[in-house]
Amino acid sequence: MAEAGPDALLRRWTHSHEEAPAGLMVLRPSTWPFPPSRGRRSYEFDAGGKLTLGGPGPTDRYAENMGRWRTLPNGQIELVPAGRPALRMTIFEVEDDKLVVRIEAQP
C-alpha cells in the first residue's frame, strides 16, 4: 500500500476507466477533464468519516449512496455504504491528481 495519510483522500475521486491497469482502479479528482462517458463512479471522503458514493443508478441517472469510511489497522480503507455490504480499498498510489486502488468485498 502507498504510504499516505487519510488526509490525502479528502475529496471527491472519480473513476478514470480509460487508465485502469488490470485489476486496479484509477481515480482522478472530480475536476479532471474526463472524456465523455455514459457514467462514472465516484468516491467522496469527508474528514469526519462520511462517504458519498456516486454513479449510474438503475435507470442510468446519476445516483448517490451515503455511508462511512475508516482506516483499518493494516493500512487498508473500509468503505461501508448504507444498505450494502462493506468493501475494502487497498491504496497502491496516491498523488494530488491520481489515486490507484483495488476495491474488494470484505472477507
DSSP for 38-77 reads S---EEEE-TTSEEEEEEE-TTSSEEEEEEEEEE-TTS-E
Q: What is the pLDDT of residues 24-37, one digit of tens each?
A: 999 999 999 998 88
pLDDT(8) > 80: yes
Tell me which long-range contacts 63-71 makes (C-beta under 8 A, separation of at least 24). Answer: 69/45, 71/6
The residue that leads in pLDDT, 74 or 10, is 10
pLDDT(3) > 90: no
6 SS3 class: helix
Q: How far apart are CA 44 and CA 29, in angstroms?
A: 10
Cell readout for 19 is: 487508465
Q: What is the pLDDT of residues 36-92, one digit of tens each?
A: 887 899 999 999 999 999 988 888 888 899 999 998 888 799 999 999 999 999 999
| Confidence label for 5 from pLDDT (cuts 50, 70 and 90) | low
The confidence score (pLDDT) of residue 52 equals 96
